[in-house]
Every structure is written in structure tokens, then in C-alpha cells.
Homo-oligomer: A and B are copies of this chain.
Amino acid sequence: MTIFIDMDEVIADAYEAFITNYNTDFNENLTIEDFKGAEAWEIIPQDRKKQMRKYLYTDGFFRSFKPIGNSQDVLEQLCKEHEVYIASAAMEFPNSLKEKSDWLDEYFPFIHWKNRILCGNKFILKGDLLIDDRAYNLKAFNGHSLLFTSPHNIYENSFPRANNWDEAYQFIKSIEK
């Protein structure tokens, strides 16, 4: 199978980096629990949104993300069984492009550059499965869809869901048959 895997909030922990920066800048104690069922920008006071947006344009922000759970181990295994591509809608943030490439070099070196895609729309991808935290990406994809749980999508119920990479791997096994 050809499998496309999103980066942020699927293999790269964007919330953790955001919360760490936010708590430092505003002397707050936000936790991941505070973000459940809402977009990050919906729960931030109006007068702090500008600063929050600034993180996305700060050198090193995307590079600082930690890999999510056991994504490294599971993807390494998946690469032995399938054609695995990373597909990130990174073109919105040009300063993130190199950082995302460097990040993959560090944490997912087994994914060849030929299997890395930085794009905008994902419905132009041709393959069998898209794993993503955004319903609008999954909706437009012409193949199997798997929603990877992120705080913002916990009330979304239009797609099969994986709460972690073990569940994602089991889902892939189930559609192989």
C-alpha cells in the first residue's frame, strides 16, 4: 500500500512545543487538557493571539517538536511493509520547510527524501491511505482515511480513529486484508 502520513500532531508534537512557549512567555500553566475539543487559537485570550501566531514564524519552532509516542518505531516497521510517504501541508510557513526536512533527517532518517512531500492541498495525493489529524484533509482524499487523535479533533466522528501509533498500525493491518 501507499500510505501518506501527516507531520504536525501525527508524528510531530506541535501542542507540546506551543504550550511550553506559551507558559514561559505568559507565566501560565496550560496543559494539553485545556485544548480538548477546541482549536488552540480559540482558547487563547484575544490580546495574546499575535504572540501565539509569532511562534509559527520563529526560527527553530518547528525544529523543536518532539516525535509523538512510538511513531519512530512504528513508521520504521511500516517502511518495511509499505510505501510510506510523509505529507505535510507546510507550504503555508516557508521558514518551516528546511526545519521540517532537518527534523525528518533526525527522527525519521529511514524515510528517503523521495518519500517526503511538503504541500498545501492533500487531495492531489494518489495512494491508499492518508493518516491525518485534520478532517478536511481526510474528507477530500480518495482512499482510506484514518484520523489521528489530537486535542482539537476529539469530537470529530466521521472517520476511523487512532489514538496512538499502535492503534494506527492495527488499523493498517485490518485494511491490508
Instruction: Tell me the number of copies of this protein.
Output: 2
Known contacts A112-B120, A118-B117, A119-B119; is-contact A126 B97 (Cβ 8 Å): no
Known pairs A115-B120, A117-B119, A125-B125 / 17 extra A-B pairs, C-beta < 8 Å: A4-B124, A89-B114, A91-B114, A91-B116, A91-B118, A92-B113, A94-B97, A95-B98, A98-B98, A115-B121, A116-B119, A116-B120, A117-B118, A117-B124, A119-B119, A124-B125, A125-B126
**A interface, over-half SS:** mixed
Point out the residues of chain B lying under 8 angstroms from A119, CB to CB. Answer: 116-119
16 contacts between A and B (CB under 8 A): A4-B124, A91-B116, A91-B118, A97-B97, A97-B98, A98-B98, A114-B120, A114-B121, A115-B121, A116-B120, A117-B118, A117-B119, A117-B124, A124-B126, A124-B127, A125-B126
Residue A62, interface by CB 8 Å: no
Residue A102, interface by CB 8 Å: yes
Residue contact B2 to A124, C-beta cutoff 8 Å:
yes
Known contacts A94-B98, A94-B102, A101-B91; is-contact A120 B120 (Cβ 8 Å): no
Residue contact B120 to A117, C-beta cutoff 8 Å:
yes
Residue A148, interface by CB 8 Å: no
Residue A164, interface by CB 8 Å: no
Point out the residues of chain B lying under 8 angstroms from A116, CB to CB. Answer: 91, 119-120
Q: Which B residue sits closest to A105, measured CB to CB?
A: B94
